[in-house]
Structure 1
Amino acid sequence: MATGKPQLLFVHGIGGLRHTATDRRRWLEALAAGARDAEMADAISALTQSWLADVTFADYSDLFDRRGAQGEAAGELDGQDVSFLVELLDSMLEELAEQFPLESSPQDARVIRDARFQLDAAIQGRQAQGAGDIGRRLVGVTTTMLRLPGVRQAAQWMNGWAVLSQLAQVGRYLDRRAGKAELGAAIRARVLGVLDPARPLVVVSHSLGTVVAYEALHEYEGAVSLWVTLGSPLALGAVVLDRLVPTPASCPARVASWLNFWDRDDIVVGRPYLADWIRPSRSGVKAVTERVDSRGLWTHTATKYLEHGTVARPVIEALRP
């Protein structure tokens, strides 16, 4: 049985280079706001002062930066990046179309239709174009998607290229080819290296971090009292689900409880089917999914999710003795 002071692990998602201490503080402040929203104000100091748990922000963003991924031009996407992004955008648009049908969301549906037209044109011209030309066409797709209300005027991603380049990180992590799989292994080692399997653990993961956490927790030998996934692309069809290791996808064996939260306006989360598409663990644990509705224009951030009382409450309860 795990004993000692609990560990709270934050696992970030796609994006640029992180500042570990700053992001740790921001995530904790958002979780504290969620505690206030849940009417658990007595837990705020215990969280922010690390009395309740030892809090670690697992930062692996620099591992992506080795290839210059943060500053390269659209024409420098390689063929594997392009192949993955075509599949990912196709899956995202398909699922967004289900979320925003023409009869109930005509303006959003028209944006999605325009993006679909651009993507289909890029796919049709793929044989005659190089990766750079396709990459520029895909920037047009993501630029159009930025017209959706959930991402319009977003402070984090200012243009279509930024969206595309950061979405490409998902494909780079999942690349299992010889000479490429080392990136994923290094990221998981970075996450697992900060943990003590002898102590209780709560994991809060976001975006690509939910994919990283899925594979890392399958390798982890300690007990995990709670795993929280926020804005997860795990159920984005074959483009992510079929690339996971191990497969077929199942809840990691050492996880005692798995809560998955999604926001309807989160562009990276198409639909909440994660609980249906990922098998339970041998002990019967599977994802329990709940929708949250965030305020503001950009919902695909961990802090937006953590500010909800419905997200913060189970985290705090899992950390308390």
Structure 2
Amino acid sequence: MTRVVLVHGIAQQLKGPETITEAWLPSLNDGLAISGSDTLSRQDVAVAFYGDLFRRPGHRGLGEPPLDASDVEPGLEHELLLAWWQAAADAEAPVPGPDAPARLRTPRVVQRALNALSHSAFFAGLAESAMIGSARQVRRYFTEPEVRRAAGERLTRAVTGETTVIIAHSLGSVVAYETLCAHPQWQDLTLITLGSPLAVRGLVFDRLRPAPTGGTARWPVPVKRWINIADRGDAVALIKELAPSFGTRVQDLMVNNGAHAHDVRPYLTARETGLVLAEALG
């Protein structure tokens, strides 16, 4: 009985629905337990997994050459990396900002962005190729119709008549929003978005389907309640509050995730998340 559907975000292409569940469910139950609520069983949750859509196919070589700054495509990939850089610099003292003097060895603005992001909590330990790959997944979702359609279909298949809550992290919140808008026949769902980039104008918001009108996005008909949860230091959720863009019915909450502001696990273990999930489950 699928009561809760989980929708993951970027950089999950080497995992699968079982490994996502294994990682998310204990944190989800910690949040419920901390809030004083009953926990969920494995049968209560399902993962709308779409990460494999971004997994590069194998080939006969020893491995694909890693991506570097020269591989960053102009437009969305470039602008997204710069936006992450600015947000990380604003939130974290160790991250040099775009106004910091450039080193002679890194004159290119993209290379400077990648170097700076390597000092951020979210991107620390990631190779340049992985950072570029994260931006590329966002670009591919919005520019490759088959990827966008397939991601939505994965969520559509996961939702059942017993589903009452959809929890979506990062890019998964975009998948969830668009899929919910496309299925007005669904009813009485609670949407919980974590670290969502939905309100980022120019990069995400203006690319949504259905397209926003007059600066405001359409309310997803099946959603009776929408709670958006963000950490102030989350460099991916560049705009922390969704209510100004999606309507005052959105309830925006702030949490403190510590050093790993965009990581889904501290989002799930937060008491605030546990309380709204428990209320949604009745």
Q: How does 1:91-102 map to 2 (within 5 A)?
A: 91-95=83-87, 99-100=90-91
Q: 1:9 aligns with which of 5, 13, 25?
A: 5
In 2, Cα distance between the equivalents of 1:112 and 1:224?
44
In 1, Cα distance between the equivalents of 2:128 and 2:255?
26
Aligned residue number for residue 88 of structure 1 = 80
Q: 2:265 aligns with which of 303, 306, 316?
A: 303
In 2, Cα distance between the equivalents of 1:264 and 1:187?
28
Give structure 1 stretches of 5+ with no counterpart: 123-136
Q: 2:115 aligns with which of 143, 149, 153?
A: 143
In 2, Cα distance between the equivalents of 1:115 and 1:24?
41
Shift of 1:111: 0.9
Q: Give deviations 1:97-124, integer Å, cap 9, x for gaps.
A: 6x44xxxx7x35x612357969x964xx
Aligned residue number for residue 197 of structure 2 = 233
Aligned residue number for residue 232 of structure 2 = 264
Q: 1:55 aligns with which of 27, 30, 45?
A: 45
Shift of 1:319: 1.5
Q: 2:128 aligns with which of 149, 160, 183?
A: 160
Aligned CA distance change for structure 1 residues 58 and 72 (closer, same or farther; 3 Å): farther
Aligned CA distance change for structure 1 residues 71 and 258 (closer, same or farther; 3 Å): farther
In 2, Cα distance between the equivalents of 1:94 and 1:172?
22
- For residue 288 of structure 1, give the secondary structure of its aligned residue in structure 2: strand
Q: How does 1:94-243 map to 2 (within 5 A)?
A: 94-95=86-87, 99-100=90-91, 107-108=93-94, 111-113=96-98, 122=108, 138-148=110-120, 150-151=121-122, 154=124, 157-175=125-143, 180-196=144-160, 198-220=161-183, 221-243=185-207
Kept in 2, the 8 Å contact 1:6–1:319? The answer is no
Kept in 2, the 8 Å contact 1:225–1:255? The answer is yes
1:292 aligns with 2:255: yes
- For residue 256 of structure 1, give the secondary structure of its aligned residue in structure 2: strand
Q: Which amino acid aligns with 1:113?
A: P
Kept in 1, the 8 Å contact 2:234–2:261? The answer is yes
In 2, Cα distance between the equivalents of 1:116 and 1:58?
43
User: Kindly, what percent of the aligned residue pairs are identical?
Assistant: 29
Pairwise CA RMSD: 2.8
Shift of 1:75: 5.4
In 2, Cα distance between the equivalents of 1:146 and 1:6?
38
Aligned CA distance change for structure 1 residues 194 and 265 (closer, same or farther; 3 Å): same
- For residue 260 of structure 1, give the secondary structure of its aligned residue in structure 2: strand
In 2, Cα distance between the equivalents of 1:115 and 1:71?
33
In 2, Cα distance between the equivalents of 1:251 and 1:213?
12
Please state which structure has a larger fraction of its residues in helix. Answer: 1
Aligned CA distance change for structure 1 residues 289 and 161 (closer, same or farther; 3 Å): same
In 1, Cα distance between the equivalents of 2:70 and 2:53?
17
Q: Which amino acid aligns with 1:247?
A: A
Q: Give deviations 1:117-155, integer Å, cap 9, x for gaps.
A: 69x964xxxxxxxxxxxxxx635412312313x337x4x
In 1, Cα distance between the equivalents of 2:150 and 2:98?
39
Aligned residue number for residue 64 of structure 1 = 54
Q: Which amino acid aligns with 1:230?
A: L
- For residue 141 of structure 2, give the secondary structure of its aligned residue in structure 1: helix
Aligned CA distance change for structure 1 residues 318 and 36 (closer, same or farther; 3 Å): same
> How high is the TM-score relative to the length of structure 2?
0.84
In 1, Cα distance between the equivalents of 2:85 and 2:227?
25
Q: Which amino acid aligns with 1:74?
A: L
Kept in 2, the 8 Å contact 1:93–1:112? The answer is yes
In 1, Cα distance between the equivalents of 2:8 and 2:113?
25
Aligned residue number for residue 255 of structure 1 = 223
Aligned CA distance change for structure 1 residues 26 and 48 (closer, same or farther; 3 Å): farther
In 1, Cα distance between the equivalents of 2:149 and 2:100?
34
